[in-house]
Amino acid sequence: MISRAPLPPPTRAEYCVVACAEAWRGDGEVLAAAMAPVSSFGARLAKRSFAPELLLTDGEAMLVGLDGEVEGWLPYRRHLTMVTGGKRHVMMGASQIDRHGNQNISCIGDWSRPARQLLGVRGAPVNTLNNPVSYWIPRHSPRVFVERVDMVSGVGYDRAAAAGATRFHRIPRVVSDLGVFDFETPDRSMRLASVHPGVTLEQVRQATGFDLVIGDDVPYTREPTAEELRLIREVIDPGGLRDREVRAG
Amino acid sequence: MTDKTMTPDEVAGRLRSGMTIGIGGWGSRRKPMALVRALLRSEITDLTVISYGGPDVGLLAAAGRIRRLVAAFTTLDSIPLEPHFRAARERGAFEMTELDEAMFMWGLHAAANRLPFLPVRAGLGSDVMTVNPELRTVTSPYEDGETFVAVPALRMDAALVHLNRADRLGNGQYLGPDPYFDDLFCEAADTAYVSCEELVDGFGDAAPQTLLVGRHSVTGVVETPNGAHFTSCAPDHGRDEPFQKLYATTPWPEFAERFLSGKSEDDYQQAVRTWHEEQQ
């Protein structure tokens, strides 16, 4: 009889990878776009397990399969067509995000003379009005989860509604190192959908700069399966980059 | 047929203070850096710069040549935040028109097609509308009745782009994976200058879709080997990461004195070689 040592339990980073992967469940044949390590690992985990039809990029101009084999061409101008054609679900980052899902990556402080200039709005305005946009935030803090963002780059539910631009607007989920959040509330304000094992509700409240909707019975973020853990540890991120992006919880 | 070859400094000689200049490439990729350096050697200032911004913006901002920047971002790619652009913004050194990436692209398309604007489903609800109060909206004349942003044409006095190959007539070829928007920049401008890694007499049996830029949209051609340095120009050369890091971490006066105070592009390339030799 072969005996196997039990797998070490999932780390916080591994819960985050799984929570990011879940964003793309059921999306069909769309581009799973992600920038940061953990969200990218999530996209690859989704494709390797429950969403094999997803498309991935090499981060430059090619569509690639799981082992890097080229299956298509995606220069910037075609990438923008995938955005406006709706065949993409991106997981962006956020320097600031508010309760309605407005996101800022442009600058901190007054735009006309910022205290800290960041990237600029990039494609956040077009993304949010055209294809589903989720967010991955590796350090949940009151400086990121703010009452009001300084420069609305990605459009949240309230601003999309006020502008009459809701036709293709959707923010399926926000994943942080503390939990998973959605906007499944009557007024589309941010709700704690699940908390990662090892995190308390009080911790989430303390780290959030606005009043989160927290229900009476918040579930834990789901456990990775043994196969998912193996894929993350042995195939997707053998170098352990995920643990550098998300501190052990 | 006109031979359009010229030197980087002859290109700068065709430009004037106060012009609107479009710069091709994307972030820290295939930027016409030799032409930007020629601009820096000139007295030209007060520019409106239109760019998917990289170190072209950082250099011109640090040197105080920009009056207004039209951009969706400025980045060095492997170094996410462009330090000289940031510093200039934080000291209020120039005005800015901050657009979304797609709005920017449709502004180029509009200019290239001599349209005053094109409608886009982008910008609405975002602070792009707040910080650009002159932006208008347009309503679909069809039954959907949807409201869009009317992105004004990004028309330019001159465009600067860098390609892998070009002929003397101004036809340009890219060999890397992404055309970026260089053909649109050339078509959106009253004059356009193409620098290239190598001047060729013909394109032989090149794959036709690599012939990105047509001579009808080009005013001048410049052969500048390594002219995109320190940005990438695949497949001819990658990004010079150690040098980019030096650029991002060296105080501007020190960097400018050592690398940009020469009389020509050759002086710059020699200074870079010397620096690399010192690192070994």
pLDDT classification of B13: cutoffs 50, 70, 90: very high
pLDDT tens across A152-164, in order?
A: 999 999 999 999 9
Q: Which one of B103, B121, B127 has the shortest CB-CB distance to A152? A: B127
**Residues in A lying within 8 Å of B, measured between beta carbons:** 60-62, 73, 75-77, 80, 83-84, 106-107, 111-126, 128-130, 151-155, 159-160, 162-165, 167-168
Phi (first) and psi of residue A244, to 5 degrees: -80, -30
Q: Residue A80: closest CA among chain B residues belongs to which residue? A: B102
Give percent of chain A above pLDDT 70: 98
Cis? peptide before B230, omega within 30° of 0: yes
Report DSSP letters for B73-108, one per residue. -B--SSSSS-HHHHHHHHTT-SEEEE--HHHHHHHH
Write the pLDDT tens digit of every residue in B177-225. 999 999 999 999 999 999 999 999 999 999 999 999 999 999 999 999 9
DSSP 3-state of B199:
strand
Q: What is the ipTM of this complex?
A: 0.96
B19 interfaces chain A, CB cutoff of 8 Å: no
**Alpha-carbon separation of residue A35 from A55, A122, B30 (angstroms):** 14, 13, 21
Instruction: Write down the pLDDT at residue B225.
Output: 98
Average pLDDT over residues A223-244: 97
Give residue A7's pLDDT band: very low, low, confident or very high (50, 70, 90).
confident
Q: What is the average pLDDT score of chain A?
A: 96
Say if B117 is an interface residue toward chain A (CB within 8 Å). Answer: no
Mean pLDDT of B7-33: 98
Q: Return the closest-CA partner of residue B186 out of B162, B168, B210, B151.
A: B162
Contact B80/A at CB under 8 A: yes
Q: Does B71 touch chain A (CB under 8 A)?
A: yes
Q: How many of the other CB atoms lie within 10 Å of CB of B56?
A: 29
Alpha-carbon distance A184 to B103, whole Å? 30
DSSP B126: S
CB contact under 8 A, A114 and B90: yes
Mean pLDDT on B116-126: 98
Measuring CA to CA, how many Å separate A205 from each of A195, A200, A202, B198? 11, 9, 5, 60
User: What was the pLDDT predicted at B67?
Assistant: 98
**What pLDDT shows up at residue A248?**
72
Contact at CB, B98 and A121, closer than 8 angstroms: yes
Which tens digit of pLDDT belongs to each residue from B46-70?
A: 999 999 999 999 999 999 999 999 9
Q: Which of B73, B102, B128 sits opposite A84 (nearest CB)?
A: B102
Tokens of B46: 């007060």
B128 → closest Cβ in A62, A113, A121: A121
Cα B240–Cα B101–Cα B174 angle in degrees, nearest 5? 50
On the question of pLDDT at B81 being above 90, the answer is yes
Asked if B127 lies within 8 A of A107 by C-beta distance, the reply is no
Give the pLDDT confidence of A83-95 residue by residue, as tens digits.
999 999 999 999 9
**Is the pLDDT score of A5 beyond 80?**
no
Segment B16-40 shows an average pLDDT of 98
On whether any CB of chain A is under 8 Å from the CB of B81, the answer is: yes
A to B CB pairs, distance under 8 Å: 132
Q: Which of the residues B30, B75, B101, B135 would you substitute to probe the A interface, choosing the one with the greatest number of A C-beta atoms within 10 Å?
A: B101
Across the interface, do A118 and B128 touch by the CB < 8 Å criterion? no
CB pair distance less than 8 Å for B147 and A123: no
Give the minimum alpha-carbon distance from B51 to chain A in angstroms, rounded to a whole number.
Answer: 12
> What would the mean pLDDT of B146-165 be, rounded to a whole number?
98
